[in-house]
Amino acid sequence: MSSGNFAVPEALLRDDRALFDFQGNRATVLSHHVNRSTQAFQTVSAGGAFQIEDIFPIIDSGRFPVKRVVGEPIEIWADVYRDGHEVIAAALVWRREQDQDWQRVPMRHVVNDRWTASFVPDHIGRYVYAIEAWTDEFATWRHGIELKQKAGQDVALDALEGAGMLTKALNGGHEALTVIQRQCEDYLQTGDVAPLLTPELRDAMAESQARPDVTRSALLPLMIDRERARCGAWYEMVPRSQSTVPGQHGTFRDCIARLPDIAAMGFDVLYFTPIHPIGRVNRKGRNNSLKADPGDPGSPYAIGAEEGGHDAVHPELGTLDDFHALVEACKLVNVEIALDIAVQCSPDHPWLKQHPDWFKRRPDGSMKYAENPPKKYEDIVNPDFTCEDAGSLWNALRDVILFWVDHGVKIFRVDNPHTKPLRFWEWLIHEVQLAHPDVLFLAEAFTRPKLMKGLAKLGFSQSYTYFTWRTQKWEIEEYLRELTGYPERDFYRPNFFVNTPDILPYHLQGGEPWMFKSRLALAAMLSSTYGIYNGFELIEHAPIPGKEEYLDSEKYEIKVRDWDRPGNIKPYIREINQARRNNPALQQTSNLRFVDIQDPNVTGFVKYSTDLTNVVAVAIALSRDFHEFWFPLGDTQVEVGGERRPVVAVENLLTGERHAVEWGGLTLRIDPQRDPALLFRCLA
């Protein structure tokens, strides 16, 4: 490849290592993993006496980073052992990728050579961590002499050996060295071994003695993101459809006017479909017709025209100054802008003239437009990532992201990333986040499960999911167990969209308000990140007959709506989002436990905050019938003042009404026509 400053990261050149199998739940982490790999991570040193293996958490043997959020404790576990009976010690060491100095904390032995430690990352960005192990020679000596004392043996010579070890301790701090000197003098003056066996000297020597056989595991990666990577409510809209005048193209100023309404519903992220100039060659008409009539705006995904490409805004939306005003207005209502990045071009995108070798042509010389047989996209051509000048193409696409970062955007939703090279995304995300670790990427990939998970592993902060089509109780619960189990919970952050401009699911096509509310509640309660596409709040549901697509899709035309028209569910959305904001248990996805509700059309679950101080119980109806059922809370507990206590009552998150828990649960009733979801805070 020819390239300007293009460089393939070292991670892409490494050989894949053996894959760990971290199945099961937290209990298995505390002891052992069934059917785990025994691949060891170690650096041989001083004879390589130590084995450091079964490290947790880890993704594909350390090939990809584990994901966490800043300020969130990270527990590290590992099996650490060596031959013989020597006493060993271990430490967890970590640093940010760009730093030189290590931070460390001692590891604690738990059981059966299983060790653990934790740390709290205080900055966002990429980290590495490792396990160190060494022989604690003084502790080994101390253990031996104590055994001899119990057996009544003479330990005078052993005491001399111990005192000699004190003279070699030079690496500790001033306080430790003071203790060592004092205890050594006491022994030399009295000849009594007791000063050598005090806990203070044990701790001082653990800090100060040499570690000639220290062994360090391989460096393992972590990605520490900001809170928005884990939790957020997304509102997707087409900016050109935000005008209040029929037939008039919306502007960024119109979008600013809509901000109070969007913020009042409780959304954190305002996500725009592409905002760039739209091509004129092969422009699509209404309902994806091949012929555009005069005045048809075309698809915003046909990016680029004579006005510019991916680093330009559609002139009818406004100017870059208008966009800056929008970004600032969003900050005032605590909403972030997310932009759609579609790596595709219209046939009249400037790049086709500037870099014709970036694109493929057919044998007759004509441009090869995009296809997903049997679908055809005559208004789109795809860059050729295998062209001779691919390095320049990669750099140009990276620079598009950096351009918008410089203009205040820190969240990007990437369209169809699974159709582009995986190594490209790994490189691009790493490049961007090295300079801007607060930038987040959402992978819009509805494709094969392993490919979706592969994109998440290599760097995408969040991922689309199959939730949109999971409707039955068994498949919802089975899918969530997959997403919240190991190893998925350590790298795959699901974003549950209930609908998109491309997808009007069959279950919403009936236009039943209870179903819209049920799907919203499921998405918002099950996942800490979810989204709706505008019009959902208005119960828009007209499909193309026989398809999961919107009739008269605004991908191909401008729409004007009355955002307060009768029948909207905006108050319900506001209540759901408020419940999420008030309860940390709903701001994470993984700490989820389904409960055994006998009704096949009601799903129930309990969610816990990471510190267990906030516990929420949820029941959601999946059919329009009236439901009465038993909700078993079982041994659910809440942390109160450092003590875990059983649940004695629940409080309705929407009404404030309280109910006592008797016989380990509650009898509940749901009338879906009024509200298909019951949300309770558990009280101890």
Catalytic (active site) residue 54: no
Q: Dihedral of CA 23/29/33/39: which sign? A: positive
Using alpha carbons only, how large is the chain's radius of gyration in Å?
30
Q: Which residue in 428, 416, 410, 252 sits closest to 325, CA to CA?
A: 252
The answer to whether the CB of 552 falls within 8 A of the CB of 543 is no
User: Does 450 show up as a binding residue in the annotation?
Assistant: no
How many Å separate Cα 652 from the centre of its chain? 29
Q: Which residues pair with 115 in a beta bridge?
A: 78, 109
The answer to whether the CB of 256 falls within 8 A of the CB of 326 is yes
User: Does 555 show up as a binding residue in the annotation?
Assistant: yes
Catalytic residue (one of 132, 340, 426, 444) = 444
How many Å separate Cα 26 from the centre of its chain? 19
> In this structure, how many other beta carbons lie within 10 angstroms of the beta carbon of residue 572?
20
Alpha carbon of 181 to those of 165, 188, 387, 574: distances in Å? Answer: 12, 11, 70, 66
- Residue carrying structure tokens 């493929």: 360
Work out the angle at residue 548's Cα, subtended by the Cα atoms of residues 542 and 482, and round it to the nearest 5 degrees: 130
Q: How far apart are CA 557 and CA 299, in angstroms?
A: 8
User: Does 334 show up as a binding residue in the annotation?
Assistant: no
Strands (E), 445-597: 462-463, 495-497, 529-533, 592-594
How many Å separate Cα 184 from the centre of its chain? 53
Q: Which residue in 502, 304, 289 sits closest to 413, CA to CA?
A: 502
Give 662's DSSP letter.
B
The answer to whether the CB of 279 falls within 8 A of the CB of 379 is yes
Q: Which residue in 267, 278, 296 sits closest to 520, CA to CA?
A: 267
Give the β-pairing of 637-640 and 643-646.
Answer: antiparallel
Q: Which residue in 612, 625, 623, 619 sits closest to 667, CA to CA?
A: 619
- For residue 420, the SS3 value is coil
> In this structure, how many other beta carbons lie within 10 angstroms of the beta carbon of residue 534?
22
Catalytic (active site) residue 415: yes
> In this structure, how many other beta carbons lie within 10 angstroms of the beta carbon of residue 396?
20
Q: How far apart are CA 432 and CA 28, in angstroms?
A: 36
Name the residue type at position 367: M
Q: Which residue in 506, 573, 575 sits closest to 538, CA to CA?
A: 573
Half-sphere exposure of 46 (CA within 13 A, CB side): 14
User: Does 416 show up as a binding residue in the annotation?
Assistant: yes
Q: How far apart are CA 653 and CA 650, in angstroms?
A: 9
Q: Which residues pair with 533 in a beta bridge?
A: 236
- For residue 378, the SS3 value is strand
Both tokens assigned to 199: 């806990």
Torsion, Cα 218 224 230 235, to 10 degrees, reads -130
Catalytic residue (one of 54, 236, 340, 415) = 415
> In this structure, how many other beta carbons lie within 10 angstroms of the beta carbon of residue 258?
18
Task: Catalogue the active-site residues.
Answer: 415, 444
Cite the annotated binding site for alpha-maltose 1-phosphate by residue number. Answer: 284, 344, 379, 416, 555-556
